[in-house]
Amino acid sequence: MQADDKDSSWLKLEPQDDLDEEIEQEIDDERLPAALRELHQRRKRSTIERGVYFRELLLLQGELLKLQD
C-alpha cells in the first residue's frame, strides 16, 4: 500500500470515527446520574455576573501591579 492510499483511506474513515465519538458522548450525557446533573445545574446558576467578575478582576490585577512595583 502506498502512502497516498493510506492517506486516502484515513481521510475516508476519520469523519465516521468522529461521528461515532459524538454519538457515544451524547449517550454518556444521558447516563449522567440525576444527582450529578442537579449539582451541575446548581453550580451553573451560582456564578456571578460577568460585569462584576471583570470589574473585580481588574481591581485585583491593579493591586497585584502595585505589589510588584
- Domain tally, the chain: 1
What digits encode the pLDDT tens for the residues 12-37?
778 888 888 888 777 776 777 777 77
What digits encode the pLDDT tens for the residues 41-67?
777 665 788 888 899 999 999 999 999
Q: What angle do CA 28, 18, 39 make, to 5 degrees?
A: 25
Residue-level pLDDT at 62? 93
SS (H, E, C) the chain: CCHHHHHHHHHHHHHHHHHHHHHHHHHHHHCCCHHHHHHHHHHHHCCCCHHHHHHHHHHHHHHHHHHHC
Which structural domain range is residue 33 located in? Answer: 3-68
- Say whether pLDDT at 8 is over 80: no
pTM over 0.75: no
